[in-house]
């Protein structure tokens, strides 16, 4: 038995969730125990590489884990009463997880999103029983994310007992990744470097915290998109979804990061397509961005270090963006990335437009004016 601890399995059998490894008695047993894949050249030099945790092997992706955890905790605390509606803002991944959590815990779900949501995800959310509510225009300062959050507030006010998980600041989002971290320990042993995309900050904070119990010297590398405000750059139009933000999410654990890398869309596209062609495992914007940085981390860390990277989802929803030649050509995304990232001494030194790293990681709400939340 290599993917699940005996204790965990015994607990799940007791709860009648599973009857044996690989046999799910209930849909929630499909979440977790995702594989890791070794990724080497051309991301890292011969003899070195990193382990990719393939969270796309969950039914909806990585956020199935925090979705189930947030809903379960809210029920236990009495914040979410039986049958009450769950309403949340999401770029899609958490929506898929909440649709599953709604089924498991018997709650209707409304997912507030924006026109950037891929049609395939909108249709799957509907098929899984969620109501999809689309905002029409971005907020003048806080962008689409703020517009979605304003709409969530409106819907919550209109429906008594409805509940919002608030993935941006709910600590249960962070705690929901304990299982992912424990699986990594079981699969890989002690981990030296962890590379994570950052959107709400949930999985980077949650996985790193548990891994540090086993290795206090763990180096956490955050991966953001250009034109995202999370690590102190100015907001701008963003092509990449999933990672990045136009607000300052409270779940980002700034003190936990050794450094941050900003990645441009063309660089992520190159990495996604290279992964697909060379490893038959890929994903979307965040997967490509994380793979590029994890390959760099493997190179600079040396072959005796264990580097792990979280791949939050799989490739399918990106068939008409990352994997569409016409879309990529139209947006100028078919170029190879530089061999090395550029470097900033501090996050606001200048606005970055391509792969850049910075070892000074600070909470921007403490050194720039607070944008509207």
Ligand X SMILES: Cc1ncc(COP(=O)(O)O)c(C=O)c1O
Range 148-168 burial, b when 16+ CB lie within 10 A, else e: bbbbbeebbeeeeebbbbbbb
Among 49, 176, 242, 364, binds ligand X (CB under 6 A): 242
Instruction: Select from 27-35, 90-98, 330-338, 356-364 the region that touches ligand X (CB under 6 A).
Output: 90-98
Residue 63 Cβ, how far from ligand X at the closest point, in Å? 6
Among 142, 143, 165, 199, binds ligand X (CB under 6 A): 199
Among 197, 239, 247, 322, binds ligand X (CB under 6 A): 197
Instruction: Select from 17-25, 202-210, 263-271, 360-368 the region that touches ligand X (CB under 6 A).
Output: 202-210
DSSP sequence for 81-147: -TTPPEEEE-SSHHHHHHHHHHHHHT--EEEEE-TTS-HHHHHHHHHTTPEEEE--S-BTTTHHHHH
| Residue found under tokens 């200048």 | 350
Give CA–CA dist 366/255, Å, rounded. 13
243 binds ligand X (CB under 6 A): yes
Report helix, strand and coil shares of the chain as percent, to nearest 5.
40, 15, 45
Chain centre to alpha carbon of residue 282: 14
Residue 373 Cβ, how far from ligand X at the closest point, in Å? 16
Identity of the residue, 49 or 242, whose beta carbon is nearer to ligand X in the bound complex: 242
Instruction: Select from 26-34, 36-44, 91-99, 143-151 the region that touches ligand X (CB under 6 A).
Output: 91-99
Instruction: Select from 32-40, 127-135, 201-209, 364-372 the region that touches ligand X (CB under 6 A).
Output: 201-209
347 binds ligand X (CB under 6 A): no
Residue 199 Cβ, how far from ligand X at the closest point, in Å? 3
List CB contacts of 92: < 8 A, sequence separation 6 or more.
113, 117, 118, 121, 125, 241, 242, 317
313 binds ligand X (CB under 6 A): yes
Among 33, 58, 89, 93, binds ligand X (CB under 6 A): 93
Among 34, 89, 91, 229, binds ligand X (CB under 6 A): 91
Residue 309 Cβ, how far from ligand X at the closest point, in Å? 12
Residue 197 Cβ, how far from ligand X at the closest point, in Å? 4
243: left (phi over 0), alpha (psi -120 to 50) or beta: beta
The pair phi, psi for residue 237, each rounded to 5°, is: -60, 135
200 binds ligand X (CB under 6 A): yes
321 binds ligand X (CB under 6 A): no
Among 232, 284, 295, 364, binds ligand X (CB under 6 A): 284
Give CA–CA dist 259/360, Å, rounded. 6
What tokens were used for 6?
């005996």
Identity of the residue, 48 or 225, whose beta carbon is nearer to ligand X in the bound complex: 225
232 binds ligand X (CB under 6 A): no
DSSP sequence for 335-364: SPPPSS-EEESSTTSS---SSEEES----G
List residues bridging with 260 in a β-sheet: 222, 358
Residue 242's alpha-carbon distances to 63, 94, 99, in angstroms, are 11, 10, 18
Among 60, 97, 142, 202, binds ligand X (CB under 6 A): 202
CB neighbours of residue 340 within 10 Å: 11
* DSSP, res 208: H
Among 142, 232, 312, 347, binds ligand X (CB under 6 A): 312
Identity of the residue, 61 or 347, whose beta carbon is nearer to ligand X in the bound complex: 61
143 binds ligand X (CB under 6 A): no
Give CA–CA dist 101/69, Å, rounded. 9
Residue 358 Cβ, how far from ligand X at the closest point, in Å? 18
Residue 24 Cβ, how far from ligand X at the closest point, in Å? 24
Which sign, positive or negative, has the C-alpha torsion 226, 228, 233, 236?
A: positive
Instruction: Select from 38-46, 143-151, 200-208, 343-351 the region that touches ligand X (CB under 6 A).
Output: 200-208
* Residues in touch with ligand X (CB under 6 A): 91, 93-94, 197-204, 242-243, 284, 286, 312-313
């Amino acid at each position: 038995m290599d993917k699940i601890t005996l204790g965990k399995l015994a607990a799940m059998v007791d709860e009648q969730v599973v009857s044996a490894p690989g046999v799910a008695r209930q849909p929630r047993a499909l979440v977790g125990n995702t594989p890791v894949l070794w990724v080497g050249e051309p991301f890292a030099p011969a003899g070195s590489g990193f382990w990719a945790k393939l969270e796309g092997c969950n039914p909806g992706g990585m956020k199935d884990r925090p979705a189930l955890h947030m809903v379960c905790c809210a029920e236990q605390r009495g914040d979410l009463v039986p049958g009450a509606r769950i309403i949340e803002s999401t770029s899609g991944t958490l929506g898929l997880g909440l649709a599953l959590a709604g089924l498991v815990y018997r709650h209707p779900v409304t997912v507030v999103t924006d026109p950037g949501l891929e049609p395939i995800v909108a249709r799957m959310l509907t098929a899984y029983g969620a109501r999809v509510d689309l905002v029409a225009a971005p907020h003048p300062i806080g962008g689409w994310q703020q517009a979605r959050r304003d709409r969530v507030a409106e819907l919550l006010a209109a429906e008594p007992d409805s509940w919002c998980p608030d993935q941006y600041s709910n600590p249960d989002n962070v705690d929901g990744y304990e299982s992912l971290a424990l699986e990594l320990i079981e699969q890989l042993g002690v981990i030296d470097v962890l590379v994570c995309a950052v959107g709400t900050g949930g999985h980077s904070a949650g996985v790193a915290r548990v891994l540090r119990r086993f290795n206090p010297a763990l180096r956490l590398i955050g991966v953001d998109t250009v034109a995202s405000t999370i690590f102190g750059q100015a907001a701008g139009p963003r092509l990449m979804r999933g990672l990045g933000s136009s607000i300052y999410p409270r779940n980002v654990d700034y003190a936990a990061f050794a450094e941050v890398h900003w990645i441009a869309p063309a660089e992520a596209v190159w990495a996604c397509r290279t992964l697909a062609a060379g490893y038959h495992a890929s994903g979307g914007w965040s997967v490509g961005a994380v793979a590029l940085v994890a390959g760099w981390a493997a190179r600079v860390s040396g072959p005796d270090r264990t580097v792990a990277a979280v791949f939050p989802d799989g490739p399918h929803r990106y068939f008409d963006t990352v994997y569409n030649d016409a879309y990529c050509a139209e947006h100028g995304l078919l170029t190879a990335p530089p061999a090395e990232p550029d470097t900033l001494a501090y996050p606001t030194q200048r606005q970055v437009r391509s792969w850049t790293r910075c070892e000074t990681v600070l909470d921007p709400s403490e050194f720039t004016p607070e944008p509207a939340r």
